[in-house]
Homo-oligomer: A and B are copies of this chain.
Amino acid sequence: MTTTAGQKRVTIKQVAREAGVSTQTVSRVINERPDVAPDTRQRVLDVIADLGYRPNVLARSLISQRSHTLGVVTAGLAYTGPSRTLNGITTQAEAMDYTLLLKELPDFDHFDVETIVDDLLARQVDGIIWAVQEVGDNRDGFEERWDSFPVPIVFLTMEERTGWPSISIDNYSGGCMATEHLLSLGHIHVGHIAGPQSWWEARERKRGWSQTMQAAGHDLLLSCWVEGTWSSASGERLAQALFEQCPDLTAIFAANDQMALGALQYAHRNGIQVPQELSIVGFDGIPESLHFWPPLTTVSHDHHELGCHAVRTAVGMIEAALKGEAIHRSGSILIEPTLMVRTSSSPPNPVSI
C-alpha cells in the first residue's frame, strides 16, 4: 500500500486561494451561511470537491469550545453485557451526531479514576458515559471531585446515589420475578447461585431472591445460596455445592445465564432431569439461552436500550448546560427486566417433594 501520510492535508486557505476568495467566504460556504452569492458558493464548492477538502474538526472544536464527542468508559468488553451496551451507545450516538472516544478499563475495580477522566477531559469531550458496573468501591474516585466536575457524566449500572445521574437495570425486581416464578410453580426449596457479591448487580439479584423467599415465609432457606464468579465453570461447581448444602433443592435461580448453563451441565452429568427433577432459571436473556437444553427460563433485559438511554441522558445534560441551565438534576433511572418462561422451569415433581 502506498500511504501518502506525508502529504499536507488540504486547508481552508488553499481552497480560498484556488477559488479566489477569502478564507472567510470558504468558511461561510462550508457552514452553510446564507450570505454568500450563489455563484461564489458554487465556485467554492467546486474547488472543495476538486481538492478533496475536509474541514479540520479539531481546529473547529478549538474555537467553538465544543467537540461533539462523548467519552465512553467501559470494562469487560469481551463479555456480552458490556458489549451489547456499547452497541446501544454507538447506535444512539450516531443518531445524535456525536462521536465516541472509547476507553476500556483492564479491571473492574483497580484503576485510577483521575487518570482516565483527565485523559478524556484533555481531549475536550463534551460529556462522559461511565459504562462500568459498580464493583467494590469503584465509585469512590468520583466523590471528591464531584462538585467541580467540568462536564456532564452519566453512570451505568450502579446503586442510586442522590444527585448522580445513573441508569440501571432493575436487578432487584428481576431477582424477585425469577423467585416468584419458581415459588408460584409450587417450589419451596429454591436455591440461589449468586454472582460475586462485590458487584452491586449481584447483590441486588440476590436481594430479590432473599426478600421474596422471606416474604413467602421461607426464612429457613435464606442460607441456601452460594457465590459464583459469573462463569459457567463456577455455575457447575456451585450447583453441586448447593445440593450438598440443601439436599431438598428442587429449583435454582442463577444470577446469570452462564452460571445457569453450568448448573444445567451439572444436572446432565449427574442424570438429574431438568425440569422434572430440577427447575433452573437464569438472568440476562443471552440469545444462546433459548437454545440451551432445555431452553432456559430467564430474566431478560435490554443492554442495548441501556446504552441508548445513557447517550440520550448525557446529550440532554450537555445541551441543557449549553443553554445556561447551569444546575442540572437528573436522577436514577431503573429499567424493568422481563421474565421469559421457557422449558427449564416447571412445577416440582410430586415424587421428589
Contacts and interface: CB of A to CB of B under 8 A. Distances in A.
B77 A102 contact: no
Contacts of A52: 148
A94 B150 CA distance: 24
Contact of A87 (B57, B77, B121, B328): B77
A220 interface: no
Interface string A73-97: 0000110101110110011001000
A122 B90 contact: no
Interface residues of A, number: 84
A56 B232 contact: no
B102 A57 contact: no
Interface string A258-271: 10011011001000
A186 interface: no
B6 A324 contact: yes
Nearest to A165: B1
Number of copies: 2
Interface string A236-279: 10000000000000000000001001101100100000000000
A259 B48 CA distance: 49
A4 to B, nearest CB: 6
Nearest to A146: B1
Nearest to A10: B150
A294 B322 CA distance: 57
Given A90-B103, A118-B54, A268 B288 contact: no
The 10 closest A-B pairs by CB, nearest first: A83-B83, A90-B104, A5-B321, A232-B291, A77-B87, A102-B102, A78-B87, A268-B293, A100-B102, A57-B122
Nearest to A317: B3
A199 interface: no
Interface in A299-351: 304, 317-318, 321-322, 324, 326-330
Contact of A291 (B78, B102, B233): B233
Nearest to A54: B122
Contacts of A106: 91, 94
